[in-house]
Chains A and B, each alone.
Chain A
């Protein structure tokens, strides 16, 4: 296990109206020595609240701070911040996350020794310790119905959803290939990220992570998920409120964009070989 994480990672955190959470996230990175303060870039994504002044007064000295002109979405925010990333690997974090240990060094070690891995998803965990199962297979239409409706709780969709969420893959407690991992917290090779054109800014929120992973696979790199490389995600899943909630609508809008770019088969997920931009 590498003891010296500092100097290898650039961190990008996009803040939108959650300055306290952003500060907590930054604090955990520094306390645990995951990255140097000057390797952290916080993007103020044009929040409607007093995020800017709160971050300016409380961010530790040395952290990079950039302000977006308008909120063009999460992807655009990540891209804007990533322009200032200088290290070989970029760690992208939602502000509602924080670290409780240095297990991420295992992910970094793996990236360093295995040049075939392009992107590593972390083990997103609720503060209670409950796992969020943050790896997925690419979608079929049935998966979408199962995930986005109550039908997903019942046979036979229930089994389909379990497959989609790759629940059995976690049982081995070892890194495994995933079609895609959640964009809430992931590590990516900077050169690869730049080569494939960073995040796709046509998504405002949601599905940008699926799209990114599809492009990583398309470039010939693997996407893996690492159980026990823990990132706490203190998350109220807003899109689960229902398809007609604000977040639900955003999810559907992003799905529509994704649908226009990729094939989504009816029953059988396309897998990493057959996912590609149409």
Chain B
């Protein structure tokens, strides 16, 4: 059997493929458009591995996806492909609408046609797993209960609105056409191969370069942090045992204000890679104007996946963040490779204090 993984050269997708092939011999077709956040170097350790084939292309290319499905006859499609950075969605929503909404729609159409002509057993066993975010649920006040799967969708950014739309389409394809879908909504991921536009890798990257560590507003935006490999194991579990048509929240049970995260990172770096002048990294913290519509708090209630599927994260924030910092220290070549000229321009535009 085979699975088709879209967006598998991106952060979560590449971790998923690496972990998948570490625990299974089932081949992976990797469909990725290699936009700025997609990087085949994430999968360089699979060079020479016949279980992985890369195909450059977009989930919105109906003809291409149809051909790939017909050729490889996958038993499942796992959809990671998305434009994912909230800040970028504020500057340019168009790509988010095209990839996340129109792209998902075209992908669903191709998968629906493929699924429709499968014979009975294959048809019953086929799965379309859609990977989404907790940001579709909107923002919470400090003492609100965490998001459950039944929380109303209240997206606030073009990014979360586009993901919400895609979730709705996935749901509709189940109810209307009987497509066997599964949806996961995860909290903030962190870990190896994270593109350094996001908070954790950005802070590590800037700290090591002796550059300012930008904090939006008061730094009291609260997020739940999920180690990416825990996320991947959750997706494997949902794919294996999830109930068709259901959605599952995936969280790390680690709510932290951004400022605490940055302080933790600084302390770990002080220990693992102290500055030449002996000063603490936290001196590099700089406060910048908050971004528009910045959600105050996301918190995810991941009780359902634990109760129904027996999944829990293996890492605490403390263990996961330490592994992450160590990974970045050990993989500076990867960081140098992805922080190209285009990246520099973006960071310059985004975080001018």
Chain A nearest CB: distance from B194 CB in Å?
21
Q: Please, which residues of chain B bring their CB within 8 A of the CB of A63?
A: 55-56
Judged by a CB distance under 8 angstroms, whether B48 is at the interface is yes
Cβ–Cβ contact B67 & A62, under 8 A? yes
Contact B50 A65, beta carbon cutoff 8 Å: no
Are A38 and B53 also in contact (CB < 8 A) when A46-B47, A56-B40 are? no
A35 to chain B, nearest CB (A): 12
Interface string of B202-233 (1 = CB under 8 A from A): 00000000000000000000000000000000
Q: Is the CB of B71 within 8 A of A70?
A: no
Chain B residues 10-26 with CB under 8 Å of chain A are: none
B48 touches A61 (CB 8 A): no
Stretch with Cβ within 8 A of A (4 or more), from B57-65, B108-116, B160-168: B57-65
Chain A proximity mask over B23-55: 1 for CB below 8 Å, otherwise 0:
000000000011000001000101111101111
In the assembled complex, the Cα of A46 lies from the Cα of B56 at a distance in Å of 19
A61 touches B54 (CB 8 A): no
**In the complex, what's the smallest C-beta–C-beta distance from B52 to chain A, in angstroms?**
8
User: In the complex, which of the residues B40, B48, B52, B67 contacts A38, with contact meaning CB atoms closer than 8 Å?
Assistant: B67
Let me know if A83 and B50 touch, CB within 8 A: yes
Total chain B interface residues with beta-carbon distance under 8 A: 22
Within 8 A of B (CB), among A80-100: 80, 83-84, 86
Is B102 engaged at the interface, CB distance under 8 Å to the other chain?
A: no
A59-76: which residues lie under 8 A (CB-CB) from chain B? 59, 61-70
A62 and B47 form a contact (CB under 8 A): no
Q: How far is the CA of A65 from the CA of B34 in the complex (A)?
A: 13
Q: CA A83 – CA B50 in complex, angstroms?
A: 7
Are A69 and B47 in contact (CB-based, < 8 A)? yes
B54: which of A38, A46, A66, A83 is its contact (CB, 8 Å)? A66
How far is B46's CA from A46's CA once the two chains are assembled, in angstroms?
13
Q: Once bound together, how far apart are the Cα atoms of A172 and B270, in whole Å?
A: 80
Nearest-neighbour CB distance to chain B for A47, whole angstroms, equals 12
Q: Does B68 contact A (CB under 8 A)?
A: yes
Q: By the criterion CB–CB under 8 Å, are A38 and B71 in contact?
A: yes
| Known A-B contacts A38-B64, A38-B68; A61 and B47 likewise in contact (beta carbons under 8 Å) | no
Which A residues touch B49, using CB under 8 A?
69
Is B64 within 8 A of A62, CB to CB?
yes
Contact of A86 among B40, B48, B54, B71 (CB under 8 A): B71
Q: How far is the CA of A114 from the CA of B33 in the complex (A)?
A: 42
Shortest beta-carbon distance from B110 to chain A in Å = 13
Give the chain A neighbours of B46 by CB distance below 8 A. Answer: 67
The answer for the CA separation of A65 and B32 in the assembled complex, in Å, is 11
User: Nearest Cβ distance between residue B53 and chain A, in whole angstroms?
Assistant: 5
A80 touches B48 (CB 8 A): yes
Contact A56 B48 (CB under 8 A): no
Query: How far apart are the CA atoms of A38 and B50 in the complex, in Å?
Result: 17
Whether A41 pairs with B53 at a CB distance below 8 angstroms is yes
Which A residues touch B68, using CB under 8 A?
38, 62
**CB atoms of A56 and B71 under 8 A apart:** no
Smallest CB gap from A59: residue in B: B56
**Complex: chain A residue closest to B63, CB-CB:** A62
The reply to whether A65 and B48 contact each other, CB–CB distance below 8 Å, is no
> A43-58 vs B: 1/0 string, CB under 8 Å?
0001000001000110
Tell me which residues across on chain B come within 8 A of A83, comparing CB atoms: 50
Looking across the interface, which residue of chain A has its beta carbon closest to that of B58? A61
Residue with the greatest number of chain A CB neighbours at <10 A, chosen from B33, B40, B48 = B48
- Does A65 lie within 8 Å of B67, measured CB to CB? no
A83→B49 CA distance, assembly (Å): 11
Residue of B nearest to A58 (CB): B56
B47 to chain A minimum Cβ distance, whole angstroms, is 4
User: From residue A55, how far is it (CB to closest CB) to chain B in Å?
Assistant: 9
CB distance from B72 to the nearest CB of A (A): 8
Interface residues of A in 210-230 (CB under 8 A from B): none
A70 with B55, Cβ < 8 A, contacts A38-B64, A56-B34 known:
no
Contact between chains at A61 and B67 (CB < 8 Å): no
A253 within 8 A of B: no
Cα–Cα distance between A70 and B44 once the two chains are bound (Å): 12
- Roughly how many angstroms separate A68 CA and B49 CA in the complex, as a whole number? 8
Do A61 and B53 form a contact, CB below 8 Å, given A56-B40, A69-B48? no
Partner of B53 from A36, A37, A59, A65 at Cβ < 8 Å:
A65
Question: What's the Cα separation between A52 and B337 when bound, in Å?
Answer: 14
Instruction: Please tell me if the beta carbons of A61 and B61 are within 8 angstroms of each other in the complex.
Output: yes
Residues of A contacting B40 with CB < 8 Å? 52, 56, 67
- Decide if B56 touches A61 in the complex (CB within 8 Å): yes
Task: For the complex, give the distance between the alpha carbons of A253 and B72 in Å.
Answer: 39
B residues near A64, Cβ cutoff 8 Å: 53-55
From the candidates A65, A69, A80, name the one contacting B55 in the complex (CB within 8 A): A65
| B34 contact set on A, CB distance < 8 A | 56-57
Chain A residues whose CB sits within 8 angstroms of the CB of B52 once the complex forms: 66
A66 touching B53, Cβ below 8 Å: yes
The residue of chain B having its C-beta at the shortest distance from the C-beta of A79 within the complex is: B50
List residues of chain A with CB within 8 A of the CB of B61: 61-62
| Inter-chain contacts of A36 with B (CB < 8 A) | 67
> Could you name 21 residue pairs across A and B whose Cβ atoms are closer than 8 Å?
A38-B64, A38-B68, A46-B47, A52-B40, A56-B34, A59-B56, A61-B61, A61-B64, A62-B56, A63-B55, A63-B56, A64-B55, A65-B53, A65-B54, A67-B40, A67-B48, A67-B54, A68-B47, A69-B49, A70-B48, A80-B50
Report, nearest first, the 9 A-B pairs whose CB atoms are least far apart: A69-B48, A61-B57, A67-B47, A69-B47, A65-B54, A83-B50, A38-B67, A62-B64, A64-B53
> A65-B53, A69-B47 provided; 14 other pairs, C-beta below 8 A?
A37-B64, A38-B55, A38-B67, A39-B71, A56-B40, A56-B56, A63-B55, A63-B56, A64-B53, A64-B55, A66-B53, A67-B40, A67-B44, A80-B48
